[in-house]
Each structure stands twice: as structure tokens, then as C-alpha cells.
Amino acid sequence: NTVRLQAISAVEAHVPPTIGWAGAEAPGEVFGENVFNKAVMQKRLPKSVFKSVMATIERGVALDPLVADAVASAMKDWALEKGATHYAHVFYPLTGLTAEKHDSFLEPVSDGSALAEFAGKTLIQGEPDASSFPSGGLRNTFEARGYTGWDVTSPAYVLENPSGNTLCIPTVFVSMTGEALDHKTPLLRSQQAMGAQAERVLTLFGHTDPGHIVSFCGPEQEYFLVDRHFFLARPDLLNAGRTLFGAKPPKGQEFDDHYFGAIPERVLGFMMDTERELFKLGIPAKTRHNEVAPGQFEIAPMFERANVAADHQQLLMTTLKTIAKKHGMECLFHEKPFEGVNGSGKHVNFSLGNAELGSLLVPGDTPHENAQFLVFCAAVIRAVHRYAGLLRASVASATNDHRLGANEAPPAIISIFLGDQLADVFEQIAKGRATSSKSRGSMVIGVDTLPVLPTDPGDRNRTSPFAFTGNRFEFRAPGSLQTVAVPMVTINTIMAEALDHCATELETAVAAGTDFDTAVQDLLTEIIATHGAVVFNGDGYSDKWQVEAAERGLPNLRTTLDALPELISEPAMELFEKYGVFNHREMHSRYEVGLEQYALTIGVEARLTLELGSTSVLPAAVRHQTEAAVNLGALKSAGIDADAAPLAELTGTVTDLRTALGALRAALTTEPAETALGEAEHARDELLPAMAAVRAAADVLEGVVADDLWPLPTYQEMLFIL
Ligand code: ADP
Ligand code: MG
């Protein structure tokens, strides 16, 4: 009996675990229970310390190091009461994963016993050995030290584990020279840059004290669930996160019967359990539903400040994985775990603003507010048009390459969808001035001839990579496995540049005596005339768009290796340097790490394909072939005129598989290239095609080999048995 058939019986025997909600507990009761949040700090910190910390969190005032001891001591007491034995600086290295180094609170004292200690300096700074994290040349192994530094703006929390709890402190991770080795550092830098420019624009619009402007991010996470028995019987899923073999099942997603359908009971139990854990950590899980493919689901928390949203997103992924295991399932975040089936993305919803002003991407009630809204929208148009390549690079990975450009995810061409109405307003602006608003018959002409805009944009376009959705833009190209920090750093920085441009133009015009409303009109006209080519309201999946986009001069960077060089282009390096987000060395380091990760990912897949092909698929096929040959011989000797063609055909495919495996082995044993780029190109040009050839033969065999001999759980089983 194959592992595969045993797995099927095991799924039947699954008994769901009981979950916390089962009692009379109200969801609100646990929310933020494990977070060192504002309420906890207010209660436990001396008043002056609390005020100082809040000034840093809410207004971006530099942290006063003198408060650290008081905060550390309160944090320690709180964490010990929550059963924590250790504390950990949590950071976000360039692997895209979360890293943590745990230390015990206990420190020995002279009488031989130990006391729980946690000093301010330990809270503020840590020194993990950085040598095994990718740095893209920023750090040599002889200076292996990396420094973690407390990020006051992202709350500390206690992470529960059956064997002991840990106080987790979100931190930045930098080299000895202060260069970023992580994703949080640039995110914080870019928020600051964007905020400063947005505040300039707001001041011009008459806000005397606009307050601290931040960027908000609401990530929608798609994922697959498969029963763990199947998962463990698929070494490719286990090690590469995606299936490297598998014929298309007779039934796929063509019935459209899964999307927004009733959530299966077992999955709902998992979701409830996950949400409870997320609530404890203060993560505002909000929306859950089935996705397009069988076995595919989505969770979307409420949007938060980009920095907190990014940390929460990482924690959300870890939590989903942990709770799925508890429910006998595996949660898959790969962008394309199953070929021919819908892939998974992570839409990044972006806006900017603050508590007082709300989202600056919402049209207001007066023409003046609308003028301000249109300037912020125009800034998005300029940013996306000028730096489309950078946005594409911010979502480039070997795994997301399987999804982008396939007819299910936005194409690799970055364009903006504005919706009919807003697009119409901008068209009128392009012609000189906007005097009417399309779908509403009546309109109010204001001082500056801009119309009153309704707040509901009405229409939706799922094929656009960057879509206006009423109060925010939705960037749909990020992959389900990626951190939202990278696209957010890019969006913040290109917005900083665009808002800087807007503020400077307006200031210059006003200084030259132009009245403000005319200056705004001129600015909008200039932006839409120069950058309007990036606005596209049609079907992004159509072939026609590929042609039209090329005519408009929009880049179409199909694969990771086409996109990554954007990072080290002159305009990109200048941009990031100007706004203090990355220096040139840091940009080069990200480029190098991107290449390395690409080659590593494909290298693992190639070795797995070779191993599984040689030790699972080929033996099954050969056994089947032998049976068929024995059968044919027996028929012949019984004097029956049996048809040898099926055996000949099978033998042909087995030979194809052998040949393809041989070629893959050869591609894997060539001399390593001298540069990261060389390795990445080898992966793309040699390994990927060789893997595809192995898979093609293996998938044919799956349709021919006797079911009881087939070793790997099939698509049918993994996608439909939960
Ligand atoms: P969709 O209909 O696009 O699937 P969802 O409800 O699944 O929408 O997710 C929308 C996401 O957008 C949520 O995370 C939500 O909090 C977020 N969002 C809503 N308003 C804003 C905003 N102003 N800024 C950023 N994100 C927002
Ligand atoms: Mg959604």
C-alpha cells in the first residue's frame, strides 16, 4: 500500500480539536490580551514616561533613551505575569522571513541564585550574530555582528507556546555601519520621507498643523489548505512549497463553485481558532472567505499603519501555519502551489493620512477638498508612471513569477485603474479643466472649477495591478509569500518624490504670483499630460493590452531577472538616496540578495525534481511497464493477438522521463557561475526548462500508471479532500 493511499484513509479518521471560543467567551474579551499596548502602558508606566513614549509612537518624535529603563521594567513585570520566561528581539531579515533570538530573563546573582532582569539597554539594543543572514555584500563574515534596535512604534507582545511564553520585541536589524540588513529599517525611513512631503502639500492647502502623516496598509492574504497527510507525502510541497509534479485533475475550478461559497466546517474551525490567536495579539482579523480555487481561502485584517501592518502580517502568516498544523492541515503561502489552478496573491491596500484627516485619498465635500484629493491622486499617477519598473521589482521573486502574467493575476505591466468617473475627471483636466462629473448629472463648480466628487467609485476592475477603490489604492501584484514591507517601502518612497514635486511646483507658482487655484489646475494638467499613459481602465488580461502598453512605452518586465536590475538603475538609486531610504550600497545589496534568493529557490526545486523523478515517479512507471510487459507476454503465449502499441507508447514516455532526468542532472552538475547574476541566469535558462521537461513526461505517466502504484497524492486528492 502506498503512502498516498494510507494518507487518504488517515484523512477520513481526522477528529477536529476543540477551540477556545467554545466556552462563553466573547471575541472582544481576548483582543489585545497579549499586547503591551497603549492601555497597558498607560496603567503601568509613570505618567511622564508614558507621554514621552506616546510622542514617539504618535508624532514620530525621537525616542528619549532615558525612558528605556522604566519601559523595560514595566514590560518585564507584565510579561512575567503573562508567563513569559524569555524575551526575544524579533527582526525581519532579507530572506523575507521573521527571525528571533531568545534570551532568558534570568541572570545569576552572587549568592548562586538568579533574578529576573531586563534593563533598558537590553530593550533598546541586541546583538545577534548576523553572519548567516543574507546581506548582499554589506557585511563580511569577519564583522559578523548585526544590531537589533527596538522599534517603539510597533507594540511588543507575548507569544504563547505550550512549552513556555516569550516576550517579543519588534526591532530593526542593521550592520555595524548602520546599513539596513532588514525590511523594517527602510520601511520606517520611507514612511518618514513620505510623511514629510505629504505634510508640505497639506500646509499649502491651508492646514496650519496637518499633524504626523503616515501610510496605511491593509493586506489581503490568500492561501491554500491541504490535509497534512497529503502534505507529508509530497516532498515537493514540504521542501519547495509547491508541487513540482501533478497532472491537471478532471475537475478543477471551472464550476466556479468554491469562490465565496460556504466555508467547509473543518476550515471554519481552523479560521475561528486562528482569529482567536490573532485577536490576542491585537491583529484585527476582519474578513474571511473562500477563494477562487478549491482549497483556497483568504483572510484580510483591518488596515493599520504600514509599519505595524507589516509586522502583523508576518505574525499572521506564522499563526496561520501553526494553527493549521493543530487542525491537521498545512497552510500553503506559495504563489502557485498547483499548476493550472488559481494562484495566491497578497493585495496591498494603500492610503495615507492620519486620525484627524482620515485617508487623503477620499474625495471631500467641497471643491477645495476635492482639489486636495486630486493632487494626492495625481501624485500616485506620477509615482506609478515614473517608477513602474521599481514597483514591478518590489514584487519580483522566483515564486511570484509563476503567478504574475498568468491570466488570473495582474500582468507584469504596471498600470493604474481609476474607475470611469475619476478617469473622466482627469481626462477633462488633461484638456484644460474639469467642469463636470460624469455619473452625477448635477455638479458644483467651485472656485477652482473642480467638480464635487461622490465618494463611491462604483466600479471594480480585478485585472489592474494598481486600482483606485474609493478611499485607497490596491496594489495587486504582491505575492502571497512576500512581505508587504518591500512594496510599501517602494510606494512610500515614490510617493515622497511625487509629493515633493507637487509641493515644489505649487510653492514656486504661488511665489511667482499665480493664485493657488490656478497653480493647482496647472499642476494637475501637467501631471496628467506627462504621466496619463499609465492610466488604463480596460482589461489587463487581454493580448491587446500587451500591444497597447508597449505603444504607450510602459515597461513589461516579465520575470524576476528582467525586473531586478531596476533596483540598481541610476534613477532608482538617486531616488532612494535622495529620500534617505537606501544608499547605493544598500540598493546593490538588495539586488544581490534578490538574485541569490532566486537562484537558491530554483536550485532547490531542481534538486527535488531530480530526486522525486528518479526515486518515486520513475520506479512507479517501471513497475507498471513491467506488469504491462508480463501481461503482454502472457497473452501472446496464450495465443491471443494482443496489441503492443500501448506498451510501446508507455515505453516511449518512460524513455522521455529518463532522458529528461539525465538532462536535469547534467544541468545541476555544471560548474557554479562566478556571479550571483550568472547563477540566477543558469537557473532561469537551464534549470527551469530541464525541470519542465521532467514534469511533462511525469504528468503523462500519472494518467497511465495504475492508481495503486502511483506514489504521489494527486491534485484531485490534495485539492478536494479536506
Ligand atoms: P476586497 O473587496 O478588495 O477583497 P477586502 O475586504 O478583502 O477587500 O480587503 C480590503 C482591505 O483594504 C482590508 O484590509 C481593509 O482594511 C483595507 N482598507 C480599507 N480601507 C483602507 C484604507 N483607507 N487604507 C488602506 N487600506 C484600507
Ligand atoms: Mg478580498
Distance 219 CA to ligand 2 centre (A): 9
Length of the chain, in residues: 722
Atom number of ligand 1 nearest to Cα 218: 14
Q: Which amino acid is at 96?
A: G
Whether 712 lines ligand 1, by a CB cut-off of 6 Å, is no
Distance 292 CA to ligand 2 centre (A): 11
Q: Which ligand is nearest to the CA of 344?
A: 2
CATH superfamily of 31-182: Glutamine synthetase, N-terminal domain (3.10.20.70)
pLDDT digits (tens, 9 = 90+) for 222-256: 999 999 999 999 999 999 999 999 999 887 776 66
What is the model's pLDDT at position 406? 64
CB atoms within 10 A of CB 38: 15
What is 661-682 written as a DSSP string? HHHHHHHHTSPPPSSHHHHHHH
Atom number of ligand 1 nearest to Cα 362: 23
All CATH 3.30.590.10 domain ranges in the chain, comma separated: 191-574
Distance 220 CA to ligand 2 centre (A): 6
Distance 689 CA to ligand 2 centre (A): 34
CATH fold of 191-574, please? Answer: Creatine Kinase; Chain A, domain 2 (3.30.590)
Helices (H), ranges, 327-419: 367-386, 388-393
Whether 349 lines ligand 1, by a CB cut-off of 6 Å, is yes
Q: Is the complex ipTM more than 0.85? A: yes
Q: Give residue 32's region: left, alpha or beta (phi > 0; psi -120 to 50).
A: left
What is the model's pLDDT at position 491? 98
The second-level CATH assignment, the architecture, of 596-720 is: Up-down Bundle (1.20)
Question: Which ranges of the chain have pLDDT less than 50?
Answer: 438-449, 458
What is the model's pLDDT at position 281? 97
Distance 229 CA to ligand 1 centre (A): 35
Whether 545 lines ligand 1, by a CB cut-off of 6 Å, is no
pLDDT digits (tens, 9 = 90+) for 148-177: 999 999 999 999 998 899 999 999 999 888
Atom number of ligand 1 nearest to Cα 469: 3
Q: Which amino acid is at 192?
A: Q
What is the model's pLDDT at position 658? 98
Atom number of ligand 1 nearest to Cα 359: 23
Residues 6+ apart with CB under 8 A from 657: 613, 617, 618, 621, 694, 697, 698, 701
Q: In this structure, are strands 84-91 and 157-159 parallel, antiparallel, or unpaired?
A: unpaired
All CATH 1.20.120.1560 domain ranges in the chain, comma separated: 596-720
Whether 464 lines ligand 1, by a CB cut-off of 6 Å, is no
Distance 623 CA to ligand 1 centre (A): 53
Q: Which three cell numbers stand for residue 252?
A: 478543477
All CATH 3.10.20.70 domain ranges in the chain, comma separated: 31-182
pTM (predicted TM-score): 0.94
Whether 222 lines ligand 1, by a CB cut-off of 6 Å, is no
Give yes or no for a contact between 484 and 346, defined as CB atoms under 8 angstroms apart: yes
What is the model's pLDDT at position 6? 87
Whether 716 lines ligand 1, by a CB cut-off of 6 Å, is no
Whether 472 lines ligand 1, by a CB cut-off of 6 Å, is yes
Q: Which ligand is nearest to the CA of 297?
A: 2
